[in-house]
């Protein structure tokens, strides 16, 4: 009998072309599916709450997989982690539990949350290279907060959408966009039911322009209202972007 398992997954995105399987390079999905196949002999598909891009990280990506072989959740987690380690993957399953048949990591998801981490310092990065975006000078966090407020709510986010985004509509409702100062680190918190391709990175780029004094806060509103990708002057790299949470209805899972 088929069992559905819900997984909480952590990964360092640096070695991967993103979550989704790619013909031209390694992916997080492929790493997990290979590990599942190693311990079950089954070619199962692992579905995720979000399809992160190349170089983007996750601390709590939610995924699910259907397995025929009789296994309990703990044995599945231990087995998959052992195979991931054996293959030298930068992926780990933090938790596993049996899920109801109607649970779907992507389609049941009510909300997704990201963090974008910036580090303000002159010195080059060492151990955290690829994990944060270094800016050489301090950022004006208060001005960034004023700018962020212009993006909250439901808008046409065409300006902040990748040209190859496959979403049916550019309309999205942004529930949270907050800027937090942690000493020399600045963290941007973003939450919504769903995001457009590159939306968080594009919004971060605009806020950094404000933080560096190259844009006034109201210019973020002007860029939004332009509904034109060419109005965006700076797109943040994937390095500092982290998927941090997915939320689901209490009665699903």
Q: Is 253 within the bounds of a domain? A: no
pLDDT for res 129: 97
Concerning whether 53 is annotated as a catalytic residue, the answer is yes
93 and 177 in a single domain? The answer is: no
* Domain limits for position 223: 111-246
pLDDT for res 252: 66
With a CB cutoff of 8 Å and minimum separation 6, the contacts of 231 are 159, 222, 223
3-state SS assignment for residue 226: helix
**How many other CB atoms are there within 10 angstroms of residue 197's CB atom?**
17
Dihedral pair phi/psi, residue 134, rounded to 5°:
-80, 130
Q: Which among 53, 66, 102, 140 is annotated as catalytic?
A: 53
182 and 237 in a single domain? The answer is: yes
220 and 120 in a single domain? The answer is: yes
103 and 115 in a single domain? The answer is: no
Overall size of the chain counted in residues: 253
pLDDT for res 23: 85
pTM over 0.85: yes
How far, in Å, CA of 239 to CA of 11, rounded?
Answer: 13
Retrieve residue 36's tokens: 């599942």
What mean pLDDT value characterizes the chain? 96
State the pLDDT confidence band at 167, using cuts at 50, 70 and 90. confident
225 and 131 in a single domain? The answer is: yes
144 and 210 in a single domain? The answer is: yes
Last residue of a domain, one of 77, 107, 137: 107
How far, in Å, CA of 111 to CA of 193, rounded?
Answer: 4
How far, in Å, CA of 202 to CA of 210, rounded?
Answer: 13
Where residue 67 sits, what CATH number does that domain have?
3.30.70.580
Share of the chain above pLDDT 70, in %: 99
185 and 223 in a single domain? The answer is: yes
232 and 179 in a single domain? The answer is: yes
9 and 39 in a single domain? The answer is: yes
Q: Is 251 within the bounds of a domain? A: no
Last residue of a domain, one of 107, 128, 157: 107
Average pLDDT over every residue of 48-61: 96
- Residue-wise pLDDT for 56-97, tens only, equals 999 999 999 999 999 999 999 999 999 999 999 999 999 999
- pLDDT higher at 164 or 127: 127
pLDDT for res 164: 82
- Residue-wise pLDDT for 179-204, tens only, equals 999 999 999 999 999 999 999 999 99
* CB burial string 213-240: b at 16+ within 10 A, e below: eebebebbbebbeeeebebbeebbebbb
101 and 19 in a single domain? The answer is: yes
Does residue 253 surpass a pLDDT of 70? no
Question: 126 near 119, Cβ under 8 Å?
Answer: no
State the pLDDT confidence band at 156, using cuts at 50, 70 and 90. very high
Place of tokens 């939610």: 62
Question: 94 near 11, Cβ under 8 Å?
Answer: no
- Residue-wise pLDDT for 193-235, tens only, equals 999 999 999 999 999 999 999 999 999 999 999 999 999 999 9
């Amino acid at each position: 009998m088929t069992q559905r398992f819900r997984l909480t997954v952590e990964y360092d995105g640096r070695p991967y072309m993103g979550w989704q399987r790619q013909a031209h390079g390694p992916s997080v999905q492929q790493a997990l599916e290979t590990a599942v196949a190693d311990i079950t002999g089954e070619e199962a598909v692992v579905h995720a709450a979000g399809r992160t891009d190349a170089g983007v990280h996750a601390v709590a990506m939610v995924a699910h997989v259907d397995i025929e072989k009789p296994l309990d959740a703990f044995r599945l987690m231990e087995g998959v982690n052992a195979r991931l380690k054996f293959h030298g993957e930068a992926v780990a399953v933090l938790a596993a539990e049996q899920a109801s048949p109607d649970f779907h990591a992507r389609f049941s998801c009510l909300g997704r949350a990201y963090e974008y981490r910036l580090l303000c310092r002159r010195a080059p990065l060492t151990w955290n290279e690829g994990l944060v975006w270094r800016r050489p000078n301090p950022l004006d966090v208060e001005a960034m907060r004023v700018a962020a407020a212009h993006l909250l709510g439901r808008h046409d986010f065409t300006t902040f959408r990748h040209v190859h985004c496959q979403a049916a509509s550019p309309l999205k409702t942004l529930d949270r966009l907050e800027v937090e100062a942690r000493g020399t680190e600045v963290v941007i918190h973003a939450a919504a039911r769903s995001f457009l391709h590159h939306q968080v990175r594009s919004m971060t780029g605009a806020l950094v322009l404000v933080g560096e004094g190259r844009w006034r806060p109201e210019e973020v509103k002007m860029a939004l209202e332009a509904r034109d990708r060419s109005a965006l002057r700076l797109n943040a790299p994937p390095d500092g972007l982290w998927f941090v949470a997915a939320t689901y209805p209490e009665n699903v899972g």
